Amino acid sequence: MLAELSYWQITSLRVAGGLGGVLLVAGTLVYLHLFKMVSFMQSRLGPMEAGPFGSLQLLAEVGKHLQKEDIFPRKADKFVFGAAPFVILASTFLLVAVVPAGPDVWFVNVDTGIYLAMAVSSVSVIGILMAGWGSANKYSMMGGLRATGQLIAYELPLILAVVGVVIQAGTMNMQGIVAAQANGEIFGWGGIGNPYILTQGVAFFVFMIAMQAELTQAPFDMPIAESELVSGYLTEYSGMRFLLFFIGEFATAGVFASIAAVLFLGGWWAPIPGLAFDDNVWNLLGPLLLIGKIVILTFIVFWVRFTFPRFREDQLQRIAWKFLIPIALANIVVTALFKVWF
Amino acid sequence: MGLVPGLIKGLGVTGGTILRTVFPDGLKKPIPAPSRGAETVQYPHEKEAPPPRARGVIALHEENCTSCMLCARECPDWCIYIEGHKEKAPPRRAGGKPRKRNKLDRFDIDFALCMFCGICVDVCPFDALFWSPEYEFSEPRIADLLHDKSRLSEWMETVPEFEDYEAGSEAKKLKVPPT
């Protein structure tokens, strides 16, 4: 059906789908996890007044932020300061492009999908560094530098964890990875396919920890450590631009969780024995399954976030270089050996 | 406790609180009812019952006040305003001299200044000031927080009966016998 449309129609459909996919998922995560889950964790109710059970609270917050003044510090580098949140949002929107949500539900289907995702995800470092530099504030600068050191350190275990999956699947295409899990066998037993969380559990563990650090969620939130750096690279932001950072944080959490879902939980496919739908059913069911998996994975991310206190800066680097990277490398070696033997 | 068991225990604490809040009846009857499970009191819709000795607002028992000004002088914020005059009262015995009595004209407490320290309640020698757990006395204008003696006397109805602090403790003795 898509082939009948002209190029600009397909493009606008993709833009609308990307906007909806990112913003709706981000809004759902903010409501479910930031507003409700953390409240229940502290034996309180969270927002209850705006809409049924406070479900429209996020709209109220957006309205509040839109009314606020967009302040530029006098010595700020105006262009860099103003552009930083858009760079971060751009990296999020580029990430979502490669995530498939069904056999025919995808934005782009490139052969090196996961490679593109890993490359694009590091663009957000530049946005954070721009925010830290452009603010002309020493706390922002230190926050930006901390974020850069942290994101670069944790990019390595993230990518090394993905390598194990890529070796086992034999493809970098996201659809190919989903298909490899759906049609795979665990040492000759193909009852539930092969969701890679079972055979690549170590990689999943490393990926989740590295993802927590990439999202700068506590216990890895040194870049915005409020007890040390006021608010890190967010210190000078207000109004609309702060809102963009805020949405970007949760949208990126959702997108990273969707990548983890595709890599380790089978993406839009469900590991249920005897489940044989045709593609049309999967096209409807796939996005829902993917969103369900995103919610489960981000639940783990925010559960950890709201439970543990912050690491010290040197502990952060030690975990990445001395613990996660060796584990990920060992996982790659073992995966490669098994791939050759079996 | 080791590192990993400690981390898992931490996750267990927060996860357990989620379950207790969302399912107050326990997991055998998993009906989500967070408004019962959470500690939150949704204030405008339901009112919290403050403990009987809560320091909500200061109530005035007007008949006991002799306008001795002790409370006004001890008040750290100087937020109590008292005016009074002397008036003749009938003599105690027939043919005796008429007695003099202090009549209270004005007793205002400025709750915009009051810091609820309770020194006035403690210092009053005639049991004229009491703590009331009533807490809904906010006003749109800050000047309206100056409450006069008729308003302060209304709150006497909300003052709870004194209960012993704990079983066998010294009972509170009223300084002035009730008339």
Full pLDDT tens readout for chain A, 342 residues? 556 778 888 888 888 888 888 888 888 888 888 888 888 888 888 888 888 888 888 888 889 888 988 888 888 888 888 888 889 888 888 888 888 887 777 787 888 888 888 888 888 888 888 888 888 888 888 888 888 888 888 888 999 989 988 888 888 888 888 888 877 776 666 666 778 877 788 889 899 999 988 888 888 888 887 788 888 888 888 888 888 888 888 888 888 998 998 888 887 887 766 666 777 777 788 888 888 888 999 999 999 988 888 888 888 888 888 888 999 999 989 888 888 887
User: Which residue matches tokens 């805020």?
Assistant: A246
All structural domains of chain B, each given as residue ranges with its CATH number in brackets, are: 3-37 (no CATH), 57-158 (3.30.70.3270)
Half-sphere exposure of B166 (CA within 13 A, CB side): 0
Domain residues for the domain of A244 are 17-341
In a domain, A236, yes or no: yes
- Residue A173 falls in which region: left (phi positive, over 0), alpha (psi -120 to 50) or beta: beta
CA dihedral sign, ordered A310, A316, A322, A326: positive
Question: What is the C-alpha separation between A49 and A330, in angstroms, rounded?
Answer: 51
- Is the ipTM beyond the 0.85 threshold? no
A159, A122 contact by CB (below 8 A): no
Question: What is the C-alpha separation between B173 and A49, in angstroms, rounded?
Answer: 47
- Total domain count, chain A: 1
Structure tokens given for B69:
């000004």
- Residue A274 falls in which region: left (phi positive, over 0), alpha (psi -120 to 50) or beta: left
CA distance B63 to chain A (A): 45
Of B57, B52, B53, B99, residue with least CA distance to B79: B57
The model's pTM? 0.79
Question: What is the C-alpha separation between A19 and A9, in angstroms, rounded?
Answer: 15
Of A40, A292, A30, A296, residue with least CA distance to B32: A40
In a domain, A3, yes or no: no
Quick check: B40 and A42 CB within 8 A?
A: no
CA distance A301 to chain B (A): 11
DSSP state of B131: E
In a domain, A187, yes or no: yes
Put simply, whether B7 touches A (Cβ < 8 Å) is: yes
Mean pLDDT, 10 residues at a time, chain B of 179 residues: 83 88 80 80 84 86 86 90 87 82 88 90 88 87 89 86 71 64
Half-sphere exposure of A200 (CA within 13 A, CB side): 36
Question: What is the C-alpha separation between A265 and A260, in angstroms, rounded?
Answer: 7
Element (H, E) at A180: helix A174-183
In a domain, A4, yes or no: no
CA distance A34 to chain B (A): 13
Which residue of chain B is at minimal alpha-carbon distance from A43? B38
In a domain, A83, yes or no: yes
User: Which residue matches tokens 């044989």?
Assistant: A276
In a domain, A289, yes or no: yes
Element (H, E) at A157: helix A138-169
In a domain, A12, yes or no: no
Of A121, A140, A124, residue with least CA distance to A132: A140
Which chain A positions have a beta carbon within 8 Å of B14's beta carbon?
Answer: 41, 303, 306-307
Which chain B positions have a beta carbon within 8 Å of A300's beta carbon?
Answer: none
A126, A83 contact by CB (below 8 A): no
Q: How far apart are the first and last CA of chain B?
A: 65
Mutate which: B3, B4, B9, B21, vs A, most A CBs within 10 A: B21
Quick check: B38 and A43 CB within 8 A?
A: yes
Task: Provide the b/e sequence for A50-85 (b: ≥16 CB within 10 Å).
Answer: eeebbbebbeebeeebeeeeeebbeebbeebbebbb
In a domain, A7, yes or no: no
User: Which residue matches tokens 């969302």?
Assistant: B22
